[in-house]
Amino acid sequence: MWYNTRKGGDIMFTETKKVIENAYLVGVTFSNKENVDLSLKELKSLCETAGLNVVGQDFQMVRKVTPATLIGSGKIDEIKVELEKNNVNVVVFDYELSGSQVRNLSDIWGVKVIDRITLILDIFAQREQSREGKLQVELAQLKYNLPRLSGISGTSGRFGGSGVGMRGPGETKLELDKRIAQNNILRLEKEIERVKQNRQVQRKARQQNPIFKVAIVGYTNAGKSTLLNLITKSSIYADDKLFATLDTTSRTVWLNEGNKFILTDTVGFISKLPHNLVDAFSATLEEAKDADLILHVIDASNPYYKEQIDVVNKVLDDLKITSPIIKVYNKCDKLESKEQTDGIYISAKNNIGIDDLKNAILEKMSTM
């Protein structure tokens, strides 16, 4: 990264190196039924998306919660050894922490401590581009941190006040008192409401010229943007990372003469996202609410794709989305066999099965 400084009236450019933070992951499970490996693997991918270098991980089966630190003293001591050995800068918990737990663990280990939700919000803060999206991210961060003010106050100052988990509104807005934070929340809610009203006006204008609407939904990194690019011949940013794209994108697609529809890509879903955070980003999913047809894109090559389907279905239920759904099993080129018969198998990357998908969309259009 480059920035400019002035020296004697002359502009000088100085290169600053991005500091890579070493991260250590901590999983917490309360029963043998929970899939810790799946959750920690996903947490590792989230960390990499955020720019962290994961150097190790551990987990604990918690039978009795320790209110001050969540995990027991023995496990805390074990992790402390690993942190010192691996020069760790930040510990990321795969479980929601209270403000006091963050403070206590930071004091014991001498490093920054964040949880999964803080990490996800940080990724959103890094990647969100639209004005509405930026407002929603800031609002979600404020709402999440407000009840944690007494615990997190002072932690960012001890660890430099920067890096993963310190972006967005930051402590400068949260440290003063809850009243100021609450005022900021009210201000953001009003701004977002104005943006929503403008969006509704635009939506009503589009409804004057009705056209079939198709929305792409799915678990993050399932290949939604790649599919949109292929069908619409667009160049929307797509990458093999969680939350590679956050902003809603719509394009017109012509199937044949006289048959066209609007195809919209939406933000990806992920597990362990509290309902209030789903609400905070519901505006980015409004296009899905208004769609005549939903394409549920699934990474069929992921060994945990059934669990991911359940996560997406739950969010759709929470948002009261009742439109017809076509399951689109993506990345079929990586499969040895096709297990499911309730959808269409494709490879958006290699243009496999796309004609079958278009025919299925056309069939739905003809019946509605």
Percent of the chain scored above 90 by pLDDT?
39
Please check whether residue 71 lies inside any domain of the structure.
Answer: yes
Shared-domain flag, residues 149 and 259 = no
**Mean per-residue pLDDT for 46-50?**
91
Encode pLDDT of 81-111 as tens digits: 999 999 999 999 999 999 999 999 999 999 9
Shared-domain flag, residues 354 and 220 = yes
Shared-domain flag, residues 345 and 234 = yes
Lowest-pLDDT range of 99-113, 190-204, 227-241: 227-241
Encode pLDDT of 156-176 as tens digits: 555 555 566 655 555 554 455
Integer Cα distance of 119 and 49 in angstroms: 10
Greater pLDDT, 279 or 359: 359
The answer to whether residue 249 scores a pLDDT higher than 70 is yes
- Give me the sign of the Cα torsion angle 228, 230, 231, 235: positive
Q: What confidence category does residue 242 fall into, taking pLDDT thresholds of 50, 70 and 90?
A: low
Long-range CB pairs of 353-358 (<8 Å, 24+ gap) are 354/230, 354/231, 357/231, 357/295, 357/326, 357/328, 358/231, 358/255
Shared-domain flag, residues 149 and 232 = no
The answer to whether residue 149 scores a pLDDT higher than 60 is yes
**Mean per-residue pLDDT for 3-28?**
64
**Total tally of structural domains belonging to the chain:** 2
Q: Please give the residue range of the domain that contains residue 69.
A: 22-174
Greater pLDDT, 56 or 15: 56
Integer Cα distance of 23 and 41 in angstroms: 14
Q: What confidence category does residue 221 fall into, taking pLDDT thresholds of 50, 70 and 90?
A: confident
Integer Cα distance of 137 and 275 in angstroms: 15
- What value does the mean pLDDT of the chain take? 81
Whichever domain contains 326, its CATH number is: 3.40.50.300
Shared-domain flag, residues 100 and 216 = no
Shared-domain flag, residues 216 and 117 = no
Shared-domain flag, residues 164 and 230 = no
Shared-domain flag, residues 146 and 269 = no
Q: What confidence category does residue 38 fall into, taking pLDDT thresholds of 50, 70 and 90?
A: confident
Scan for tokens 């796309």, then name that residue. Answer: 354
Residues in the chain: 368
Beta strands in 282-364 (DSSP E): 293-299, 325-330, 343-345
Please check whether residue 5 lies inside any domain of the structure.
Answer: no
Structure tokens at 188: 């953001």
